[in-house]
């Protein structure tokens, strides 16, 4: 997941967006992601709110709807000055929704990255306020389970704890999918790693890690492969250097390996409150001592007022709307993965389509894998009808034969595409030019064309075209499947129309069959490597198992060594991969599936096209294979792992790119 900041411009509503949700008038969008769309809303009394509406496909899933209803119930229990309140919800609506107050401000993670750690009174206020928030959560019979810097918002009046998307009740069995560990590596308690269970004491452990991060600006258990971080958590190797002594003493007890040795959240709040009071006495006179904990926090909290986005309330929308070709940097996030997250929750990483014209076109054969959300029956019928396209690759000649939009459906589709591409253009440092005539239609071929001009070097063009293609695919799919299922189109085509050169088709993809707008099917789309891979193929269950941190020291060591070499190899390939970005453990991870004696390597960087991904996977497969072989040569049969797989994580899905079985170095790819 990538973090998107909470302060930014409200994007205009898109064709098909509701004008009202419950009592709220919708004035634009704040964000969107894998679970739903977050709209900017205004209550009858003028209050600004964030309204989360879940995707229609997920609303049809009884299990998802049950989880959503349970999350609303849990969130309604919790109140406090350092939480973002749930205002209203309708989990039984045809499309379930909920609303929270809109609260601008950076997350702790964003603030530390930009400004450094908290100091003096603000640090003590942060510790006390976040402990008070957890105490309120626990008093309501709820466990947060995802306390981390991205889930704490720093407002002008104090911190707010966000995101109850994976909160669980203490008193009942929660509705969740089996076999899944919630939480983020480095922000998971030892008992959750060992037993897979988390109670209030687990929240206290991660609260202590949170305070240490706020005080030092360093991850308390460091960075690295998930297994390595897990080992540090379970061995008590927290980095607390530089913390004020009195606060460090509280944090050290809260980081105890045994849950029973930790203070409760209420006890931690009380102890931090004493330290906070000492800070307050230094800035206020004796007779003016604040009466409440929230007032004490505000008295010493030093955080500038965040500039919230300008919410232009448009006139009531009729049936006709003016064209909106508007670009805006999407800096506002929302309740996409959580229930009480304001507009600072995390959005999924880009799920860009990767079928570049210069790459092997595998998207046309993509199938819906188990990692993809199911569409409604009506949409499935539309998909089946539309996938019978006319065949043959698009060319500059077919583009020249295409025409401008005609009719309501095509005009809505063109508006949506240009609106979303305008957002992409605003995010590019190099120029991307579109015009109202950029979108054209070829009804006979069932193709929608987008022409553009770029002013950047080749590496930057590759990145830009990937982003343009992703947006084009998603916009076209939304327009045809959700808004106008009678439209016959199933394929999008991108054409580089730079002046002084012939038009060139740079990208084409079937946006109906490529359900997640990525380059290939979930599994089986990659290829095996190595001489003994027959009879075994990696799958989603193995990948899920690999994401559960190991507790074996040897596995830690081998995974860390493999990850280090693969990351170094990735950065050495930056020219080939078309990026200047230096990647690390946040983008590339290693884990194990013991049941199949397999090591998995996966990347969630999500910015490479298909040929670039395969170049990276070739390198990663070779290094993973050699790591396994070297350990086997050293340890003999005591080392059980002989298989490896390299996967790409994109949005809610994945693609197995390379895999194999190796017992000697001769079995490894070059």
Q: What does the alpha-carbon distance between residue 548 and residue 412 come to, in Å, rounded to a whole number?
A: 45
For residue range 248-296, list pLDDT tens digits in order: 999 999 999 999 999 999 999 999 999 998 888 877 665 666 667 787 8
Instruction: Provide the CB-side half-sphere exposure for 398 (13 A, CA).
Output: 23
pLDDT, residue 522, reads 31
Instruction: Decide which of 125 and 637 is more confident.
Output: 125
- What torsion do the CA atoms of 287, 288, 294, 300 make, to the nearest 10 degrees? -110
Confidence check: pLDDT of 534 > 70: no
Spatial neighbors of 7 by CB under 8 A, at least 6 apart, are 104, 105, 106, 306, 307, 308, 309, 331, 332
Length of the chain: 670
For residue range 113-122, list pLDDT tens digits in order: 888 999 999 9
Provide φ and ψ at 127, rounded to 5°: -60, -45
pLDDT, residue 616, reads 93
pLDDT, residue 347, reads 23
Spatial neighbors of 218 by CB under 8 A, at least 6 apart, are 212, 239
Range picked from 174-178, 458-462, 554-558, 564-568 for highest mean pLDDT: 564-568
Q: Is the pTM of this model over 0.75?
A: no
According to the 3-state scheme, what is the secondary structure of 493-521? EEEECCCCCCCEEEEEEECCCCCCCCCCC
Residue 5 confidence class, pLDDT cut points 50, 70, 90: very low
pLDDT, residue 90, reads 92
Residue 331 confidence class, pLDDT cut points 50, 70, 90: very low
Find, among 354, 371, 610, the residue nearest to 472 by Cα: 354
Residue 373's Cβ-count burial label (10 Å; 0-12, 13-18, 19+) is middle
Other beta carbons within 10 angstroms of residue 292's beta carbon come to 9
Q: What does the alpha-carbon distance between residue 268 and residue 79 come to, in Å, rounded to a whole number?
A: 19
pLDDT, residue 379, reads 37
Please report the domains of the chain, with CATH numbers, ordered by start residue: 1-104+308-348 (3.30.200.20), 107-160+169-306 (1.10.510.10), 363-510 (no CATH), 527-667 (no CATH)
pLDDT, residue 320, reads 32
Confidence check: pLDDT of 388 > 50: no
């Amino acid at each position: 997941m990538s973090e998107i900041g909470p302060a930014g411009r409200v994007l205009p509503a898109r064709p098909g967006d509701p004008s009202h949700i419950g009592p709220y008038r919708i004035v634009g969008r704040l964000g969107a992601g894998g679970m739903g769309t977050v709209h900017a809303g205004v209550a009858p009394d003028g209050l600004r709110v964030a309204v989360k509406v879940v995707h229609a496909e997920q609303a049809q899933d009884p299990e998802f709807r049950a989880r959503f209803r349970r999350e609303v119930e849990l969130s309604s229990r919790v109140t406090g000055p350092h939480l973002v309140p749930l205002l209203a919800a309708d989990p039984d609506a045809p499309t379930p929704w909920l609303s929270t107050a809109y609260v601008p401000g950076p997350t702790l993670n964003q603030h530390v990255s930009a400004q450094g750690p908290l100091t003096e009174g603000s640090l003590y206020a942060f510790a006390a306020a976040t402990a008070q928030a957890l105490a309120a959560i626990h008093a309501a019979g709820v466990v947060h389970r995802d306390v981390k810097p991205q889930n704490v918002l720093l407002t002008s009046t104090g911190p707010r704890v966000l995101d109850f998307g994976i909160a669980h009740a203490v008193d009942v069995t929660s509705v969740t999918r089996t076999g899944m560990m919630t939480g983020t590596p480095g922000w998971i308690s030892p008992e959750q790693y060992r037993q897979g269970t988390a109670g209030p004491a687990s929240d206290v452990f991660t609260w202590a890690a949170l305070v240490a991060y706020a005080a030092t600006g360093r991850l308390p258990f460091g960075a690295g492969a998930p297994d390595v971080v897990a080992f540090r958590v379970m061995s008590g190797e927290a980095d607390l250097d530089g913390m004020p002594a009195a606060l460090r003493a509280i944090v050290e007890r809260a980081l105890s390996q045994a849950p029973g040795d930790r203070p409760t959240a209420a006890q931690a709040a009380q102890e931090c409150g004493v330290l906070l009071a000492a800070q307050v006495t230094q800035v206020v006179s004796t007779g003016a001592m604040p009466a409440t904990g929230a007032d004490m926090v505000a008295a010493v909290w030093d955080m500038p007022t965040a500039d919230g986005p300008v919410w232009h309330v448009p006139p009531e929308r009729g049936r006709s709307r003016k064209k909106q070709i508007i670009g805006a940097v999407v800096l506002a996030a929302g309740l996409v993965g959580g229930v009480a997250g304001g507009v600072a929750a995390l959005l999924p990483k880009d799920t860009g389509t990767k079928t570049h014209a210069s790459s092997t076109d595998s998207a046309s054969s993509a199938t819906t894998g188990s990692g993809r959300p199911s569409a409604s029956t009506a949409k499935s019928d539309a998909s089946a009808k539309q996938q019978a396209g006319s065949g043959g690759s698009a060319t500059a000649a077919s583009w020249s034969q295409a025409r401008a939009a005609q009719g309501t459906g095509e005009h809505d589709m063109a508006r949506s595409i240009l609106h979303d591409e305008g957002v992409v253009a605003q995010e590019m440092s190099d120029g991307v030019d579109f015009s109202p005539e950029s979108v054209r239609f070829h009804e006979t071929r069932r193709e929608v064309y987008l022409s553009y001009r770029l002013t950047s070097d080749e590496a930057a063009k590759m990145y830009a075209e990937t982003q343009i293609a992703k947006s084009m695919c998603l916009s076209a799919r939304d327009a045809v499947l959700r808004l106008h299922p009678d439209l016959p189109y199933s394929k999008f085509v991108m054409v580089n129309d730079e002046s002084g050169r012939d038009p060139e088709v740079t990208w084409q993809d079937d946006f109906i069959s490529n359900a997640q707008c990525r380059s290939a099917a979930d599994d089986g789309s990659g290829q095996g490597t190595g001489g003994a891979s027959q009879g075994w193929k990696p799958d989603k269950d193995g990948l899920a198992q690999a994401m559960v941190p190991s507790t074996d020291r040897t596995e830690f060591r081998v995974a860390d060594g493999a990850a280090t070499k693969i990351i170094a190899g990735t950065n050495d390939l930056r020219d080939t991969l078309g990026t200047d970005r230096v990647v690390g453990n946040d983008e590339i991870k290693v884990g194990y599936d013991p049941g199949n004696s397999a090591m998995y390597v996966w990347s969630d960087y999500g910015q490479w096209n298909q040929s670039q991904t395969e170049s990276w996977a070739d390198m990663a497969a070779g290094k993973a294979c050699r790591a396994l072989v070297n350990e086997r040569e050293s340890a003999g049969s005591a080392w059980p792992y002989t298989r490896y797989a390299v996967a790409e994580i994109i949005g809610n899905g994945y693609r197995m790119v390379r895999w194999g079985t190796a017992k000697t170095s001769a079995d490894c790819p070059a």
